[in-house]
Structure 1
Amino acid sequence: MIVDKLENADLYVNVNSRLKKAFEFLKDNDIQKLSDGKYEIDGDNIYASVQSYVTQNEAEKRFESHEKYIDIQYISKGQEFIAWSPIENLTVEEAYSKEKDVAFYKDGTFSSKINLDEDYFCIFFPKDAHKPGCTLDKTSQIKKVVVKIKIA
């Protein structure tokens, strides 16, 4: 798991060969003007999902993880926290779906809260369970982009 500001994205482009294109999408687009939906960047290798929503109480959210894709979760507007835990510390609640590339987990005894403000991102790898969209201090209207990067 990595957390940082978008202005520092160049520090991470060598982690995976496709991260550079993913970060270019975030830097080269006015996210506030993008409609919610899916945006292809490089076919199914890299694509973005633009989302608008209101944060929810942590108890209403579930941990998830992905096997085929790395997530970059970038906050364009609002504040939220994302709970994080290594998947080995959690109990599977809903088995991995190859079709949807997601597994869901029950809360465990070990997790950390990652506070995200505007222009911050988190990168989640397959062993990183994450619970996005949680209310930080008060309910917040979020504009977010989740960039999915296929593991090469």
Structure 2
Amino acid sequence: MILDKLENINLYANVNSNFEKAFKFLTDNDLEKLTDGRHEIDSDNVYASVQSYATKNNSENKWESHEKYIDIQFIVKGKETIVWSPIDQLILQEEYSKEKDVTFYREGSYSSKINLKEKYFCILFPEDGHKPGCVFDGEMNVKKIVVKIKL
């Protein structure tokens, strides 16, 4: 898991060969004007999912992880908490869905809160269980872009 500000993306461009494409999308577009839904960057190798929603209480959101993609979760507007845990500290709830690239979990023995505000991003790898969309300092509307990077 990595947490940082958009201005520091140059530190992470070499982590994965497709990170440069992902970060270019985040810096070269007017993100506030992007409509919700999928936006192609490089076919299934790199794409962005633009999402607008209201944050919820931690107990209302699900733990998840992904095997085929790395997530870069970037906050355009608002604030949210993503609760993080290594997947080996969570309890399996639903087996991995190959079609949706997701495994769901129940609360485990260890977790930490990641507080994201505008212009911050969080990079989540396959071993990172996460519960996104949680209330940070009060329920609020969030616009977020999740860039999916194929492994």
* Structure 2 residue 136 is matched with structure 1 residue 136: yes
TM-score, L = length of structure 2: 0.99
Distance (whole Å) between structure 1 residues aligned to residue 126 and residue 66 of structure 2: 5
Match of 1:9 in 2: 9
Partner SS state of residue 110, structure 2 = coil
2:52 alignment partner in structure 1: 52
Deviation at 1:75, TM superposition (A): 0.2
Listed one character per residue, the Cα deviations across residues 39-89 of structure 1 (whole Å, up to 9, x for unaligned) are 010000000000000000000001100000000000000000000000000
**1:6-32 C-alpha deviation (Å, 9 max, x unpaired):** 110110011001001000001111111
TM-score by length of 1: 0.98
Matches within 5 A, 1:31-70: 31-70=31-70
Shift of 1:109: 1.8
Percent sequence identity over matched residues?
65
The SS at the match of 1:133 is strand
For these two proteins, the number of residue pairs brought into alignment is 151
Pairs within 5 Å for 1:13-28: 13-28=13-28
Match of 1:100? 100
Runs of 4+ in 1 over 2 A off after TM superposition: none
| Structure 2 unaligned blocks of 5 or more | none
